Amino acid sequence: MNYQILIQPTAFQEIETSYRWMCNNLNAEVANNWYYELQDPIASLQEFPNRCSIAPEAPVIGREIRQLWVGKRRKYRVLFVVEEDVVAILHVRHSRQSYLSEESG
């Protein structure tokens, strides 16, 4: 079964914010590489998204939120839910960011 990937507005904004930060504080090449390296792991969720572990904040939020670690050093977490044939990407967060709370889920 192939799942449809939907990037929610919050996740899109987080990707854009990270990209801009990298452009301003590192360089455009690093930002571009990060952006393109994010695409394949997200696309891989089209098949077997349930292979990913449950995120630590899932019990607090009360939803089965899963996480996909991205990057060579697992610096980013893609947080998502699987509903029927859709994978909804909720957040893309740096590993140094705190876990989600009930309000942000």
- Condensed to tens digits (0 to 9), the pLDDT of residues 48-90 reads 999 999 999 888 888 899 999 997 777 899 999 999 999 999 9
Answer whether 0.75 is exceeded by the pTM.
yes
Number of folded domains that form the chain: 1
**CATH number where 26 lies:** 3.30.2310.20
Any domain includes 101: no
Secondary structure (3-state) at 32: helix
Any domain includes 100: no
Distance CA 67, CA 89 (A): 10
Any domain includes 104: no
Any domain includes 33: yes
Using left for φ > 0, alpha for ψ between -120 and 50, and beta otherwise, residue 71 falls in left
Question: In terms of residue numbers, what domain contains 44?
Answer: 4-94
Any domain includes 99: no
Q: What share of the chain is helix, strand, coil (3-state, %, to 5)?
A: 40, 25, 30
